[in-house]
Amino acid sequence: MERTFVIGDVHGCAAELEDLLAVLNPGRDDRVIFVGDLVNRGPNTSGVLRIARSIPGARAVLGNHELRLLEYRRTKDESRLKPYDRETLSVLTEEDWKYLHTMEERIELPEHRALVVHAGLLPDRPWRTQPLRVISRIQVVDSNGEAWKRSECRDGTFWADLWEGPPFVVYGHTPTRFPRHSRWAVGIDTGVAYGGELTAFVFPERKLVSVPARRAYVKKNGWSTAG
């Protein structure tokens, strides 16, 4: 039976990506999809991109970290760069840049009535028309129905708690110690770069597979324990 493996935010953790792929053991007819944020934070962004390129037919959606790098490459505006962006920029090859340009805004899985996006969706608007600036960075929704990052709107409601599908949404972006389950969505950024796990969601079984981080590469205080 053909399987689809949706892999959470890798964030430069190439060794853990190898560990997860060894457990998943995708076959010739299986598909691999990344939820974005393959780059930054961990020790080996180029290694992650090299592995992703090597998987036949693998696809990836754009995360906010890839978007920031691509914006800099287009504009040369350094004002939005973070320190780890500069580290990543120093190691990216032309092959890496070519791969970043192939990443997609969203990936539909109609046979599973599912959708893969990086961050999430506004719950009251058609998902096909929602712009990349929303679906690559949303975490919460304010009282006016607008999208924000959690740090920008502390009293907002997490978008997945409001989402009523279909489609069923598989997303990353918001790191939690364990996968975050909602009726119509599952979050699979389990903080591998922070010493958590790297997680995949598997169709058609709709099961989760995780491997532990080999170590914590960066510190993050107060990341969510929501399950």
Total of domains in the chain = 1
Name every residue whose Cβ is closer than 8 Å to that of residue 138 and which is 6 or more positions away in sequence. 119, 120, 121, 122, 147, 148, 149, 159
pLDDT digits (tens, 9 = 90+) for 153-187: 999 999 999 999 899 999 999 999 999 999 999 99
- Does 95 map to a domain? yes
- Does 225 map to a domain? no
pLDDT digits (tens, 9 = 90+) for 17-57: 999 999 999 999 999 999 999 999 999 999 999 999 999 99
Structure tokens given for 17: 């990506």
Domain enclosing residue 129, as ranges: 4-212
- Does 226 map to a domain? no
**pLDDT classification of 225: cutoffs 50, 70, 90:** very low
- Does 217 map to a domain? no
- Does 135 map to a domain? yes
Structure tokens given for 136: 């690559």
Predicted local confidence at residue 57, as pLDDT: 94
Predicted local confidence at residue 227, as pLDDT: 33
Q: Which H/E stretch holds residue 209?
A: strand 207-212
pLDDT digits (tens, 9 = 90+) for 84-143: 999 999 999 999 999 999 999 999 999 999 999 999 999 999 999 999 999 999 999 999
pLDDT digits (tens, 9 = 90+) for 8-23: 999 999 999 999 999 9
- Does 221 map to a domain? no
CATH number, domain with residue 181: 3.60.21.10
Name every residue whose Cβ is closer than 8 Å to that of residue 220 and which is 6 or more positions away in sequence. 175, 191, 194
**pLDDT classification of 220: cutoffs 50, 70, 90:** confident
Rounded Cα distance, 141 and 11, in Å? 25
> Which residue intervals of 25-129 are DSSP H helices?
45-54, 64-75, 83-89, 94-102
14-24 and 45-54 helices cross at what angle (nearest 10)?
30
- pTM (two decimals): 0.95
- Does 134 map to a domain? yes
- Does 147 map to a domain? yes
Q: What is the mean pLDDT of the chain?
A: 95
Q: What percent of the chain has pLDDT over 90?
A: 95
Three-class secondary structure of residue 26 per DSSP:
coil
